[in-house]
Amino acid sequence: MKKIKILHIITRFDKGGSAENTLLTVIGLDKERYDVTMAYGPSTESLMSESEAWANRIDQERAKSAGVKLILIPELIRSISPIKDFKAFLKIFLLIKREKYTIIHTHTSKAGILGRWAAIFAGIPIIIHTPHGHAFTGYFGRFVTYIFILIERITAIFTDTIITLTDRCKKEHIEFKITPPEKFRTIHSGVEMERFFNLNIDTENKRRSLGITNGYHVVGTIGRFTPIKGHKYLIDAIKIVSEKIADVRFIFVGEGPLRLNLIKQAESLGVIDKILFLGWREDVPEILSIIDLFVLTSLYEGMGKVFIEAMIMEKPVVATRVGGVQDIVRDGEDGILIPVKESVRLAEAIITLLEDKDKRKKMGKSGKVHASLYSDKAMVAKIDRLYNDWIQEKGER
């Protein structure tokens, strides 16, 4: 039986949620049925630290070991660059024409525009796009945002399905009149549940290895150090929390261009001794096992699969009430949702949970039950069914 050729295209193959979602998809697809290739950009804009670059190399080897072909397109960068954008478009177009794919599946905004138009001009029968959120608010000025929305609307005409990570994200796309409701399908981002099951972790020893005194409260956050993640509001909140609760430490897992800014902010507020900057880690389940609660203060999130990882480890969540987060973290059940950019409210929520062990435990158990619905296998199975629906619809075998 001839395999169905699929090309996934993404701008940055780093440790961000969209890249990890795409990685799990290309790894999980049945290689007996699909011939899978992933084209990606150089991630130079990610300003990777050595720890992130190391973790990224491991991800690339995982993909290759799973039978995924990887193609680097150096010009496929996230920022707008007319010359590089045209070169990237041309390279994608020539790749598509040469390999004669049946399905083009694009991810994120820039790759979504260039990749889909290359597929359109190449006459590809099935075109799928996953935006992993959207850039309709909070990223650009009014004029640039309008142009971007207009381009998305035009491109969506030639797109067979747009996959949104949550129903809320689907609703937002519809409100911006990107395309009619029938073109959307919600498929939640998946988490490798096996990484978080049947763990045998000595939490006291793990805390000691990080220099955390036994009996201290520990709060964790995981994410790239970029403006959209709102880490600076968390550091402001740490100042307030530490004045109320002295025996507390905050673990920051991640890297990014704002790392030095965040360190300087923590130093200026006198809370640098309260924070451990750990870089990217391969032992995320172990890190999550030693925290009392998880915090993420994003200005926008398409979904936030890291919440699922924390919840599957029975950790209550404090998060901003933005995007798809509201569909994943149920306010008052799995954690506490707060308004965006409000450090005082953030601090109050953290203090409330640190001072109430029973509430933490109750929310943690509730979150684990809810998070169990979001496995990587379930995600890949739904994407496979979507592909199969279009293969049947268009008569592609």
Dist CA 191 CA 44 (whole Å): 26
Asked if 204 and 184 sit in the same domain, the reply is no
**Is 75 in the same domain as 174?**
yes
Is 177 found in the same domain as 222?
Answer: no
Domain that holds residue 169: 4-190+375-394
Looking at the structure, tell me whether residues 130 and 12 fall in a common domain.
Answer: yes
Q: How many domains does the chain have?
A: 2
Q: Is the overall model pTM greater than 0.85, yes or no?
A: no
215, 320: one domain: yes
* pLDDT by residue, tens only, the chain of 397 residues: 789 999 999 998 877 778 889 999 999 999 999 999 999 998 765 566 677 778 788 899 999 999 999 999 999 998 889 999 999 999 999 999 999 999 999 999 899 999 999 999 999 999 999 998 766 665 566 787 788 889 999 999 999 999 999 888 899 899 989 999 999 999 998 999 988 988 889 999 999 999 999 899 999 999 989 999 999 999 999 999 999 999 999 999 998 889 999 999 999 999 999 999 999 888 999 999 999 999 999 998 888 889 999 999 999 999 999 988 998 999 999 999 999 999 999 999 999 999 999 999 999 999 999 998 899 999 999 999 999 999 999 876 5
| Cα 218 from chain centre | 23
224 in the same domain as 341? yes
Give me the CATH number covering residue 34: 3.40.50.2000
Are residues 303 and 198 located together in one domain of the fold?
Answer: yes
251 and 197 in a common domain: yes
**Residue given tokens 């009430």 in the structure block:** 321
Task: Assess contact for 157 and 124: CB atoms under 8 A.
Answer: no
Strand segments (E) across the chain: 4-12, 34-41, 69-72, 103-107, 126-130, 161-164, 184-186, 217-222, 248-253, 275-279, 293-296, 317-320, 335-338
- Rounded to 5 degrees, what are φ and ψ at 63? -65, -45
